[in-house]
Chain A
């Protein structure tokens, strides 16, 4: 039995990997500007037309890479939160963590950007934006954790997350009210979620931050599995709960924060993807789930990005809208099914 389960897990990884590769190529092929496929491939190896090379190397490739990183990071962040809070509906957006990251970004864009000479090519700006977003995300995580230690009821914790999110959006509205037109425009465009606005330098910054978060998450695979059995069991087998919690907090905040900083709020990816992965691999083992969620998340966001470019002729649907359309049915299915992870909701 165990052997057969291993084979089906390996097969699922293989199929997901192939699908991801296929969508990655498709994402580079499709864009708002028409380019011949042959030109795209030649450009990738530095032998295309000048026009093609600029589009592919400066825009499409960074965008596809961003989609992969953002999908992986956001989804793992959601997985960590669901296990940590033992709540199938936990996720960066539902718990207000994305809003927290957004507040960090809003503070940067709407108040500090004139001071720091806002420039999208300045790598320092990239790091400062990420640090602000991660700090915002982390602050909300700490508040939610403090609340959930006192309130056992899942529903209450979720409602508090939603309250926090609205409180934060009020603060952001206030900031918007006092900011000038160009800052406001930058901010509003950011809120729509965009995978294609990153410079190659920013992509590298995002990659570095996300990799750090993903490696931290992977280091916690064993305690994450113990947490499935509850905190008492975890402690009884020697898990250092304080250290584990700090590591998971930091990891989830870095992942959600860095993606939100550069790509805007990618709605519903963090909450929906872990469930899709659990269904695909039919396991709760984080040794499989963490890499599985990375692949699934990257695939789903690549798909969303392709869909967002489908209208063609220079029109692009905000990617946030597409991820919501994919994610919300999954969330509805969890609530209706009530039994993902078996929690009565």
Chain B
């Protein structure tokens, strides 16, 4: 297979559970595909069935109907010993192992390649070292898994998946419970794997911003159906907006991001420049003001040698503030007409 070839395809797939022999589908008629060298983000609301779909893709769970095609072969025809050489899976479960070193965890990724004792050959050791290197964990390799940060632990799981040396890496919420920089570094690591190693990485996430910015393709579950496209396609055809529709949110098509919707406090004019203008506008928006150059109430921001100054004009009195915090606290809730 070469970059761009469809490496994983689902054909009229239905996923879900069987309750006492009766099928309880979570999602039906799924037709998706992922290509070699592609970063695919699976997004959808809580309970939309992301985990169920991912578990079905890696054959941890049988499809209710339809099938998964891996490298041109139906998954159910692939031997259970061969499948782990083609696809790896990292789940959301809290990190299970303890009192075990980072290197040992990564080495467990070699499981499908080693003999009955799990002895590591030179080739296995090389794969482990390489996985540690790519994920930036070489310096932590001999640390106990209990003594590293959440982000580093998640990296360890990615390294383990990488050491398994499969063309397809499936990950259920690799960025859950991580802070913003760790989240970003994990997703850029996943992206690096697709670009430098030609892997196909499919990951589920709630982090819409990063997915929209970094993924090559998004699989979007909106509760009824599942759509696929470049992030920009899904913004343009409004399916992203529809999937997360909520009376509390407003969607910005140009950024592809959601933000909280504020009850309007009125209109205000802003005279400022550069980053100061951007940030002041942001704060005003948060307080529910719409920016309108013709509004009666006006804010003039200017920089002086000692810092920025904000002046409110057009109100009852003219006031001057040294911080945005003071400014917004003095804005009237109901601006004069």
Contacts and interface: CB of A to CB of B under 8 A. Distances in A.
Contacts of A229: 96-97, 105, 108, 160
Interface string B89-111: 10101001111100111001101
Contact of A228 (B97, B103, B112, B114): B97
A232 interface: yes
A283 B114 CA distance: 19
B63 interface: no
Contacts of A238: 80-81, 83-84, 111-112
Given A225-B118, A228-B97, A340-B99, A236 B58 contact: yes
Contacts of A157: none
A284 B98 CA distance: 8
B108 A341 contact: no
Interface string B128-145: 000000000000011000
A204 interface: no
A283 B164 CA distance: 22
Interface string A64-88: 0000000000000000000000100
B96 A285 contact: no
B155 to A, nearest CB: 15
Nearest to B79: A238
A230 B146 contact: no
Contact of A232 (B89, B105, B141): B89
B84 A230 contact: no
B88 interface: yes
A226 interface: yes
B99 A232 contact: no
Nearest to A285: B104
Given A226-B111, A341-B98, A232 B84 contact: no
A5 B103 CA distance: 12
B184 to A, nearest CB: 26
Nearest to A279: B99
Interface string A218-243: 01011001101110110111111000
A342 B104 contact: no
A327 B109 CA distance: 35
A83 to B, nearest CB: 11
Report the contact-size class of chain B (Cβ under 8 Å from the partner). Answer: 20 to 34
A278 interface: yes
Contacts of B104: 283-285
B325 interface: no
B43 to A, nearest CB: 22
Contact of A236 (B84, B105, B114, B146): B84
Interface centre among A5, A232, A236 (most CB of B within 10 A): A236
B93 A225 contact: no
Given A236-B60, A237-B112, A221 B117 contact: yes
B112 A232 contact: no
Interface in A76-119: 86
Nearest to A240: B80
B141 A1 contact: yes
Given A238-B84, A240-B80, A219 B116 contact: yes
A245 interface: no
A226 B119 CA distance: 13
A186 interface: no
Nearest to A222: B118
A37 B189 CA distance: 68
A287 interface: yes
Contact of A287 (B58, B81, B117): B117
Contact of A237 (B91, B98, B164): B164
Interface in A314-345: 339-343
A87 to B, nearest CB: 12
Interface centre among A86, A225, A229, A235 (most CB of B within 10 A): A229
Contacts of B114: 222
B146 A339 contact: yes
A135 B154 CA distance: 43
A86 B96 contact: yes
Interface string B35-72: 00000000000000000000000101000000000000
Contacts of A1: 141-142
Contact of B60 (A2, A232, A285, A342): A232
Contact of B99 (A2, A236, A237, A342): A342
Interface string B74-88: 000000110110001
A280 B221 CA distance: 51
A208 to B, nearest CB: 23
Contacts of A278: 99
A228 B88 contact: no
Contacts of A222: 111, 114, 116-118
B99 A341 contact: yes
B3 to A, nearest CB: 25
Nearest to A234: B111
Contacts of A237: 84, 88, 108-109, 111-112, 164
Given A236-B58, A339-B99, 5 more contacts: A1-B142, A221-B117, A229-B97, A230-B93, A235-B60
Interface of A: 1-2, 5, 86, 219, 221-222, 225-226, 228-230, 232-233, 235-240, 278, 283-285, 287, 339-343
Q: Which 8 A-B pairs have the closest CB atoms?
A: A342-B98, A230-B96, A222-B118, A236-B89, A237-B111, A284-B100, A238-B84, A228-B97
28 contacts: A1-B141, A1-B142, A2-B103, A221-B117, A222-B114, A222-B116, A222-B117, A222-B118, A228-B97, A229-B97, A230-B91, A230-B93, A232-B89, A232-B91, A233-B108, A235-B60, A236-B60, A236-B88, A237-B84, A237-B111, A238-B84, A238-B112, A278-B99, A283-B100, A284-B99, A284-B100, A339-B98, A342-B98
